Copies of this chain bind each other. A is one copy, B any other.
Amino acid sequence: MKKGQNRENLVDQCIVARGGGIGMARIKRLIDLPKVQLNRSDPTPLNRQIERQLRELILSGDLRAQMRLPSTRQLADGLGCSRGTVVGAIEQLIAEGFLISSSRSGTFVVGPLRAAVDRRGDKQAARPVKPVRLSHLGEFLAEARRPTYRPGTAFSTGSPDVADFPFGRWSRLCRSVWRQPPLDAVYNQDPAGYLPLRRAIAAYLHDTRGTRFEPSNVFITSGSQQGLDLVARLLLNEGDLVWMEEPGFIEARYALRSVGAGAVAVPVDSEGLSVTEGRRRAADAKLAIVTPSHQYPMGMIMSYARRMELLDWARQAEAWILEDDYDSESRHSGAPLPALQALDADETVIYMGTFSKALFSSLRIGYLVLPPRLMERFCRARYNLDPFTSLMAQPVLTRFIEDGHFATYIQKIRRKFAARRESVVAAARDYFGDAFEFQGDKAGLYVTAVFSGPLRGRPDDEAARKALAAGVVVAPLSSYYQGPPTAQGLILGFGSIDEKTSRAGMATLSSVIDR
């Protein structure tokens, strides 16, 4: 046979077995086997061409159930290829269940495939599908608000600006690391992540936060939310109670809900979470989630005395404390208090940090510092849910820290964010005077303007809606409360906006908020 020749009539017969099973098929009549054509200019191997065309003929109904194929020798002769080529195709179709072979009576199309062919027809007719219900948890989560961040828009929170991030350096480190990657990065099996990164984090936290722990207690996560989710799943049972700051990071309730744990709102005052109130509301809670370095969203630092009270409670109640140090890298000045972790003599504190706020949010690398008594169990348990965080960025981040680029960058953005905070506060003073009261420490990527003076008691959600309609994004303080809000105000993010945008945004805010 020559390349390209028309083989229309070369494979032209097929025998249908009727009655009885395949094994005892009786030959009834010859029919035409529709065309199989080999195209030798196609790079697809010949056996794949045969296989694909036979499969299509079966699916289309051209080769019907219980048809017997010509012998492989006949097919090979007809197609002008080797018998081995045909055998390869037939074996594949047998493996796939389209054909069945019997040494006594030959190779047959498996039947019935009628339903299947009908189905394909149906599919083209686009049968309407039913609306869907997720699990109870799924429905709860899917109904939740999904905030959209708008980098560059006043006063969107969430994504810090990366204008100064040294992507050139970062990309060179990527190249350098991955050109000949360390084998323990390629073949990682440690649920806690890349050990050199854990060492770098331990050293960094020791220097900046006064913590004391071994690198082996750092547990790399794919960000704070995953960390929180793991803590909830591995430590809480259905019905367990959890202290949450009020107002606070209410998104934590999703993780709690996923295990059926209950969130207990515990008010914060100027010293942070009120342990006295917590004891009154749920003395036997199993976990307290706190932001002692920079309360979210009120911004105060938890006082030393309060820290000790909280640790005392946790020891007595045999509870855990999740210390969420979500933005410790973006403090503008001053060393914050030593972390709770540093004061914990009883292995009750789980410290949680992230690189998303300091570097860029799509990096998705965070960490837990686990008490030694939890470490091995967390590793084993995590391994069976989501084995470990990708090693793609971990060695790159390690080099970024070790080579000093991280510290340099942090210094730079601290100055930048401090200046931006000043701009926002100054613009607010100009436009709002004493109607905005600024609380909290000079840190982070947002300020909380509490309504006071002429705005005291005014609904902040209405203000936020009007602002949004005018193109300014502000989060109402009341949305951070689980219960009735005791204050109204606006969260003003400045992580991604310059001074000009900030002043313009404030002017817009001023024009839409009556007072």
User: Which chain A residues have a beta carbon within 8 Å of chain B's beta carbons?
Assistant: 47-48, 51-52, 55, 58-59, 88, 92, 95-98, 110, 112-113, 115-116, 119-120, 122-123, 127, 129-132, 134-138, 141-144, 146, 148-149, 151, 159, 162, 167-168, 170-172, 174-181, 185-189, 222-223, 225-226, 229, 233-237, 251, 254-255, 258-259, 271-272, 300-308, 311-312, 318, 333-337, 343-347, 360-365, 371-374, 377-393, 396, 441
Contacts of A307 in B (CB 8 A): 97, 116
Q: In whole Å, how far is A114's beta carbon from the nearest beta carbon of chain B? A: 10
Given contacts A159-B187, A229-B386, A385-B229, contact A236 B135 (CB under 8 A): yes
Verify A97–B146 contact, CB threshold 8 A: no
Q: Which of B116, B179, B234 contacts A138 (CB 8 A)?
A: B234
**A303 to B58, alpha carbons, bound, how many Å?**
13
Contacts of A335 in B (CB 8 A): 48, 51-52, 92
Q: In whole Å, how far is A358's beta carbon from the nearest beta carbon of chain B? A: 14
Verify A301–B149 contact, CB threshold 8 A: no
**A378 to B307, alpha carbons, bound, how many Å?**
39
Contacts of A112 in B (CB 8 A): 305
Verify B48–A334 contact, CB threshold 8 A: yes
**A225 to B387, alpha carbons, bound, how many Å?**
8
Q: Which of B96, B98, B304, B346 contacts A127 (CB 8 A)?
A: B346
Chain B residue with Cβ nearest A392? B393
Verify B392–A138 contact, CB threshold 8 A: no
Verify A171–B162 contact, CB threshold 8 A: no
The 6 A-B pairs at the shortest CB distance, nearest first, are namely A97-B303, A138-B234, A141-B381, A362-B391, A174-B174, A171-B178
Q: In whole Å, how far is A383's beta carbon from the nearest beta carbon of chain B? A: 5
Q: Which of B110, B119, B130, B334 contacts A92 (CB 8 A)?
A: B334
**A94 to B171, alpha carbons, bound, how many Å?**
43
Contacts of A378 in B (CB 8 A): 142
**A176 to B167, alpha carbons, bound, how many Å?**
11
Verify B362–A390 contact, CB threshold 8 A: yes
New A-B contacts (20) at CB < 8 Å, excluding given A97-B302, A258-B385:
A51-B334, A95-B334, A97-B304, A98-B303, A119-B311, A119-B345, A132-B371, A134-B374, A137-B259, A141-B381, A141-B385, A144-B383, A146-B379, A148-B189, A167-B180, A168-B179, A175-B175, A186-B360, A188-B362, A223-B387
Given contacts A142-B380, A179-B171, A233-B258, contact A97 B362 (CB under 8 A): no
**A343 to B55, alpha carbons, bound, how many Å?**
14
Verify A95–B362 contact, CB threshold 8 A: no
Q: Which of B138, B360, B382, B384 contacts A251 (CB 8 A)?
A: B384
Verify B384–A141 contact, CB threshold 8 A: yes
Verify B129–A373 contact, CB threshold 8 A: yes
This chain's copy number in the assembly = 2
Verify A364–B388 contact, CB threshold 8 A: yes
Verify A386–B223 contact, CB threshold 8 A: yes
Verify A377–B146 contact, CB threshold 8 A: no
Contacts of A363 in B (CB 8 A): 390-392
Max count, chain B CB within 10 A of own CB: residue among A97, A390, A393: A97
Chain B residue with Cβ nearest A59? B304
Q: Which of B141, B179, B188, B300 contacts A95 (CB 8 A)?
A: B300
Q: In whole Å, how far is A94's beta carbon from the nearest beta carbon of chain B? A: 9
Q: In whole Å, how far is A324's beta carbon from the nearest beta carbon of chain B? A: 16
Q: In whole Å, how far is A423's beta carbon from the nearest beta carbon of chain B? A: 20
Q: Which of B113, B138, B186, B384 contacts A381 (CB 8 A)?
A: B138
Verify A389–B222 contact, CB threshold 8 A: yes
A-B CB contact pairs (8 Å), 6 listed = A112-B305, A142-B381, A167-B180, A258-B385, A362-B391, A364-B388
Max count, chain B CB within 10 A of own CB: residue among A167, A306, A362: A362
Q: In whole Å, how far is A481's beta carbon from the nearest beta carbon of chain B? A: 18
Verify A116–B347 contact, CB threshold 8 A: no
Verify A305–B96 contact, CB threshold 8 A: no
Q: Which of B115, B172, B373 contacts A308 (CB 8 A)?
A: B115
Q: In whole Å, how far is A129's beta carbon from the nearest beta carbon of chain B? A: 4
Verify A96–B181 contact, CB threshold 8 A: no
**A362 to B174, alpha carbons, bound, how many Å?**
15
**A170 to B181, alpha carbons, bound, how many Å?**
11
Verify A97–B305 contact, CB threshold 8 A: yes
Verify A383–B134 contact, CB threshold 8 A: no
**A443 to B361, alpha carbons, bound, how many Å?**
39
Verify B123–A345 contact, CB threshold 8 A: yes
